[in-house]
Structure 1
Amino acid sequence: MNQPRYKIVFDGQLMPETTLETVKDNLARLFKSDAARIDSLFSGTPVALKRDLEEHEANQYLNALQKAGANVRKELDQSASLSLVPTEEESEAEPVDSARMNCPKCGHEQAKASECSACGIIIEKYLARQAQLAEAAPAQVADATGASPYAPPQANVAEALPEYSELKVFSVNGRIGRVRYLGWTMAMLLCSLPLMALFAGASAISGTLGGLLLGIAVIAMIVISVFIGVQRLHDMGWSGWLWLLNFVPVVGSVFALLMLIIPGTQGVNRYGPPPPPNSTGVKVLAWLFLLVPIAGIVAAIALPAYQGYLG
């Protein structure tokens, strides 16, 4: 007896706690497809994303797509189980009611006929076409002019996504959380201290040289701030261009505070997998960053009081 074959069906429903845009971005990345074809999958009409799968293959597709946020389901693929040549067991079995049949494409049950009354296919031609596709090499992606908007994307979606994103300080790609954002900012400030000492020494020799070194240090700090700020926004699911709001008076101060408060999105978002867990060093640097303004406030209060006491 032939082993049962399965198909993966999607009708536009999302997994809990996911957003439509995030799921579309994940599917576009998995299928390596354009946005127009991905949008067509959310019309509400059930679409078979993949057919003629063994059970373990169907489970792989099911897990990968559900992790991407698509609420897909596994169903028996009736068309893949059809054969024009009866098996030995089927030949010996007792005949069933031959007056009824199921459409090999949509599964509609109807009186035996050459054409499906639900989807309108010519059944014999459809079965012949399915046999050709099964024997042929993996299908090439159809050109844009002839592609059906409901054609399933041709890609191996069973490929597992990385659990965590790769950390890169000098990049606008990737994601970092609130603690790592504070830690990396503190590390940048600590690295700037030797540069300030170098600037002071160069200024004693030449004012021009000191000014040049100071300009280079300031530009370097701004560039690194952009890199880590954009990655923090990506972790929140926001566009990196919003970092420019830091230059807007009043709004910039509020926005910088939001970058420290708002948590990152859970799981994969449009900018990739979540960042890895924070190391001990990152946590220590983050606490040091928080202590700097606290120490400044205490000093601002204590010094005038101490000076008044001495006076």
Structure 2
Amino acid sequence: MDFQTAVRTCFRKYADFSGRARRSEYWWFVLFLFIANAVLGLIDSAIFGFSDPGVGLLAPLFSLATLLPSLAVGARRLHDIGRSGWWLLLVLIPVIGFIILIVWFATRSEEGANDFGPGPQPATA
């Protein structure tokens, strides 16, 4: 899955917590969120004069608007490795929770069908 397809898929499945998401879909969407937040943060500081990181108007609004699709793709990614989306709550455990989730998000997909749906489609070239 390429960058555009991943972003389009994540927004199309805005609040769809069912099914599975390939590693590429998840990580391309994370990259999109990172780049968009950085650009919007720069625009915030240039236009509105916010010099303190984390203070602004556009970047926080974008983060709020993309919260649900980022949770949904995270849950679908966990489904792809055979784990419940509720494991996203590990983020509430400082440091250790993030590390565990990053390792799981980087884990190879389960082959074939699992409790959350059929296996991911093979990547087409």
Give yes or no for TM over 0.5. yes
**How far apart, in 2, do the equivalents of 1:228 and 1:273 lie?**
16
> Structure 1 residue 279: deviation in Å?
5.7
1:191 to 1:214, Cα distance in 2 relative to 1, 3 A: closer
Give the percent of matched residue pairs that are identical in Structure 1 and Structure 2.
Answer: 27
| Corresponding residue of 1:269 | 114
| Corresponding residue of 1:252 | 97
| Larger RCO (alpha carbons 8 Å, 6+ apart) | 2
Greater strand share, structure number = 1
Partner secondary structure for residue 228 of structure 1: helix
Q: Give 1:239's match in structure 2, choosing from 84, 93, 100.
A: 84
**How far apart, in 1, do the equivalents of 2:66 and 2:36 lie?**
10
> Structure 1 residue 243: deviation in Å?
0.6
What does 1:158-177 align with in structure 2 at a 5 Å threshold? 168-169=9-10, 170=14, 171-177=16-22
* Correspondence 1:218 to 2:63: yes
> Structure 1 residue 269: deviation in Å?
1.6
| Corresponding residue of 2:46 | 201
**How far apart, in 1, do the equivalents of 2:124 and 2:92 lie?**
31
Q: What per-residue deviation string (whole Å, max 9, x for no partner) do you get for residues 245-279 of structure 1?
A: 02212321331232234322211222111222346
Q: What per-residue deviation string (whole Å, max 9, x for no partner) do you get for residues 84-131 of structure 1?
A: xxxxxxxxxxxxxxxxxxxxxxxxxxxxxxxxxxxxxxxxxxxxxxxx
Greater helix share, structure number = 2
Equivalent pair of 1:229/1:243 in contact (CA under 8 Å): yes
**How far apart, in 2, do the equivalents of 1:279 and 1:252 lie?**
34
Moved over 6 A (4+): none
Structure 2 residue ranges without an equivalent (≥5) = 1-7
| Corresponding residue of 1:34 | none
Give the root-mean-square deviation of aligned CA atoms. Answer: 2.8
Structure 1 residue ranges without an equivalent (≥5) = 1-166, 281-311
| Corresponding residue of 1:72 | none
The two structures have a TM-score, normalised by structure 1, of 0.31
Q: What per-residue deviation string (whole Å, max 9, x for no partner) do you get for residues 207-237 of structure 1?
A: xxx7333321232343332122111001011
Partner secondary structure for residue 211 of structure 1: coil
Equivalent pair of 1:172/1:227 in contact (CA under 8 Å): yes
**How far apart, in 2, do the equivalents of 1:228 and 1:255 lie?**
17
**How far apart, in 1, do the equivalents of 2:124 and 2:45 lie?**
34
Paired letter, 2:36: C
Partner secondary structure for residue 70 of structure 2: helix
Partner secondary structure for residue 190 of structure 1: helix
Bigger radius of gyration: 1
Paired letter, 2:77: R
1:216 to 1:239, Cα distance in 2 relative to 1, 3 A: same
The two structures have a TM-score, normalised by structure 2, of 0.69
